Amino acid sequence: MSRRYRGQFAADGACLSPARCIPTLPIVTEPPPDTVESTLREWLRNERRLGVPHWDVSTTPAAAVVTGVGNREGARPAPPSPVVERLPTAAAVRATTLPASTPALFGDDTGLPPPCRAELSKADAAAALAHLDATHVRGCTKCRLHAGRTQTVFGVGHPRPALVFVGEGPGADEDAQGIPFVGRAGQLLTRMIAAMSLTRDQVYICNVVKCRPPGNRTPADDEMETCAPFLFRQLAILRPQVIISLGRPATQTLLATKVAISKLRGAFHDFPPPALAHVGLPPARLMPTFHPAYLLRNPAAKGDAWADLQQVMRLLGLPAPQRS
């Protein structure tokens, strides 16, 4: 019996697409928005005082990306993104996965299917994410946070991105709109993404917990542990090359550690960490950095955050900013 895969899943929610795996990820070629120059200026405001290099978008390689809009009008197509060339192959990813009998991180009482073990096309990954959201997250009442939410906030962005941002949880604006990082901190994150010559549509943005903690408090450890299996299953579908964890709760959850973010940020870490090896997640490089909300309260830390983003840009082969 042949198996066709168009967003179909087994009764337990497992993927039915191993024969439709693709060896590479879709190329991200959409240019940054026209507002990139203004957003760069805003994000890099005070950069000289902080020692952050100034990015002159009129002369740097990033400008070539911006002017790539002209490709739609018949100009020479942009070259393939170096991001794709650096992505792990399907064979390399599969070699790291574990037997189907491997238990889920926090036990099988989550009622979730095992993390996706195959590389999916953009369409299939979008379908798998939508299935996970609709079937398991939207009606979830596994922790106390469900009581105060307006709606769950699953995630948004490219279903097969090279880069994923993970925060700790939705705030009031996110709870109202059902979209992560849309408040003041989200606007700063959007500018940070633009400063990397990317757009929100080219990356994926989500949180550890999918429901707003009351009063925008930090999620409790047990709340993050209860909700983390959803995040891990998202990451198994997304299969990014790099994860940027925003702030202490997200960083400590993804690295399964209690080490302070001040000691973790500024360097890449292997993901998953040994403590999460049994989950069967695809490998990625994880860069911890400060949460945009912290940067709003402590703008002097923008220099450190920018240095973290620059390391990610170098790994992904994104255009490096130039000193003016």
Phi, psi of 131 (to 5 degrees): -65, -45
Which of 104, 145, 238, 279 touches ligand SF4 (CB under 6 A)? 145
Does 137 sit near ligand SF4 (CB under 6 A)? Answer: yes
Check binding of 227 to ligand SF4 (CB under 6 A): yes
Q: From CA 57, how far away is CA 62, in angstroms rounded? A: 6
Question: Measured in Å, how far apart are the chain's first and last C-alpha atoms?
Answer: 63
Q: How far is the CB of 194 from ligand SF4 (least distance, A)?
A: 29
Interface residue with ligand SF4, options 164, 211, 309, 313 (CB under 6 A): 211
Q: 152 with 271: CB under 8 angstroms?
A: no
Asked if residue 218 binds ligand SF4 (CB under 6 A), the reply is: no
Q: DSSP 3-state helix, strand, coil percentages of the chain (rounded to 5)?
A: 45, 10, 45
Structure tokens at 316: 């992904």
Cα angle 41, 45, 48 (rounded to 5 degrees) comes to 115
The least distance separating ligand SF4 from the CB of residue 219, rounded to whole angstroms, comes to 7
DSSP assignment of 297-324: H-GGGHHHHHHHHHHHHHHHTPPPP---
Measured from the CB atom, the residue of 182 and 193 that comes closer to ligand SF4 is 182
- Count of residues for the chain? 324
Task: Give yes or no for residue 210 binding ligand SF4 (CB under 6 A).
Answer: yes
Q: How many residues bind ligand SF4 (CB under 6 A)?
A: 14
Pick the binder of ligand SF4 from 188, 195, 198, 209 (CB under 6 A): 209
Strand stretches in 112-185, DSSP E: 156-157, 163-167
Question: Measured from the CB of residue 97, what is the shortest distance to ligand SF4 in angstroms?
Answer: 25
Would you give the binding string for ligand SF4 spanning residues 280-309, x where CB under 6 A is met? ------------------------------
Long-range interactions of 134-138: CB distance < 8 A, separation 24+:
135/13, 136/13, 136/111, 136/112, 136/230, 137/210, 137/230
Which of 122, 131, 142, 285 is close enough to bind ligand SF4 by CB under 6 A?
A: 142
Nearest-angstrom CA–CA distance, 229 and 208? 9
Name the one range near ligand SF4 by CB under 6 A: 59-67, 143-151, 288-296, 313-321.
Answer: 143-151
Q: Is 104 in the site for ligand SF4 (CB under 6 A)?
A: no
- 206 contributes a contact to ligand SF4 by CB under 6 A: no
Which token pair is 237? 């579908």
- Encoded one letter per residue, x for contact with ligand SF4 by CB under 6 A and - for no contact, window 164-203 reads ----------------------------------------
Does the footprint of ligand SF4 cover residue 146 (CB under 6 A)?
yes
Write down the least CB distance from residue 226 to ligand SF4, Å. 4
Asked if 228 interacts with ligand SF4 (CB under 6 A), we say no
Q: Which residues pair with 243 in a beta bridge?
A: 164, 286
User: Quick one: which of 39, 60, 152, 199 contacts ligand SF4 (CB under 6 A)?
Assistant: 152
Compare residues 62 and 211 and give the one whose CB is closer to ligand SF4: 211
Distance (Å) of CA 265 to CA 113, 255, 301? 32, 12, 12
In the complex with ligand SF4, the residue whose CB is nearer, 190 or 226, is: 226
Q: Smaller CB distance to ligand SF4: residue 119 or 223?
A: 223
Adjacent-strand bridge partners of 164:
204, 243
DSSP at 134 = I
Using CB under 6 A, which of 140, 188, 205, 312 touches ligand SF4?
140
On whether the CB atoms of residues 194 and 32 are closer than 8 A, the answer is yes
Is 128 within 8 Å of 172 (Cβ atoms)? no
Footprint of ligand SF4 on this chain (CB under 6 A)?
137, 140-143, 145-146, 152, 209-211, 223, 226-227
